[in-house]
Amino acid sequence: MAEPAIISVRGVDKVFNGGSDRAVTALQDIDLTIGRGEFISLLGPSGCGKSTLLRVMADLTAPTGGTVTVNGKTPGAARAARDYGMVFQQAGLFEWRSVLRNVELPLQVAGAKKDVHRAKALEMLELVRLSEFAGHYPWQLSGGMQQRVAIARALSADPEILFMDEPLGALDEMNRERLQGELLRIWGDTRTTVVFVTHSISEAVFLSSRVVVMSARPGRIAASIDVDLPYPRTAETRTTPEFFEKVTEVRKALHGAPSEQAAA
């Protein structure tokens, strides 16, 4: 990628229960550079450490070794500076807050003035097309709508980076494909750098400008595949031969990963 790096991961290891006989190497010698404005997917089987890698970048887990730079800072400093927004598999909305007040949460925590964060939150709800639900409570929304609120919340403080940990994993196929389209539109509107964890090959190919394929036990990067399908991508993109070719290429890389062969 020609863009300057916004995230750089160098020689990162992560060992859980280190020193004990239950030690698990989740990540081994990971090198990864992510350019500004990229949409990167971390793809791999469960247990390959893709979520752990994301959490290391987000400073929610400390690496055992190696260095990580996020937006020119340590992950901890980037988190403190609120350089990223995060979306988890579950929306995790605060059930006592209305949709609007959920979206305002990051701005409130950051100490923004009330009129500022009210306006900003309304703008974010417009972005995810949920303006008319501003006054609703989370339990009144479907799972897909809750996840869109979570995306609006993650973006409300204008972060440079959006970390997404299997954000569509809990949704049914129909909702999932619709939200993938929404997500690309939002990415196009905001030009945020997105790091997206998934175990769905077609989801990774449809969304990403680059797919990083990981293998399990220990978690390693097996391949990095540029997806040169033109944006904007639509439902038709999924039916093109180029899309199928890319899916096949990624699938081969995934299945060619050493641990997959060992498992098969």
Return residues touching other proteins (CB under 8 A).
58, 60, 79-82, 84-86, 88, 90, 92, 94-97, 105-106, 108-110, 133, 136-142, 145, 157
59 or 222: CB nearest other proteins: 59
Smaller CB separation from other proteins, 140 or 261:
140
Taking the least distance from each CB to other proteins, the nearer of 194 and 247 is 194
Q: How far is the CB of 150 from other proteins (least distance, A)?
A: 9
- d(CA 54, CA 58) in angstroms, rounded, equals 6
Question: CB of 57 within 8 A of CB of 195?
Answer: yes
Q: How far is C-alpha 112 from the chain's CA centre?
A: 25
**Considering only CA atoms, which of 51, 74, 61, 77 is closest in space to residue 163?**
51
Give, as one character, the DSSP assignment of residue 250.
H
User: Secondary structure of 165-234 in the HEC alphabet?
Assistant: ECCCCCCCHHHHHHHHHHHHHHHHHHCCEEEEEECCHHHHHHHCCEEEEEECCCCEEEEEEECCCCCCCC
Q: What's the min distance (Å) between Cβ of 95 and other proteins? A: 6
Q: Which is nearer to other proteins, 44 or 144 (CB)?
A: 144
Interatomic CA distance for residues 55 and 16, integer angstroms: 14
In the complex, what is the shortest distance from the CB of residue 106 to other proteins, in angstroms, rounded to a whole number? 5
Residue closer to other proteins (CB basis): 148 or 233: 148
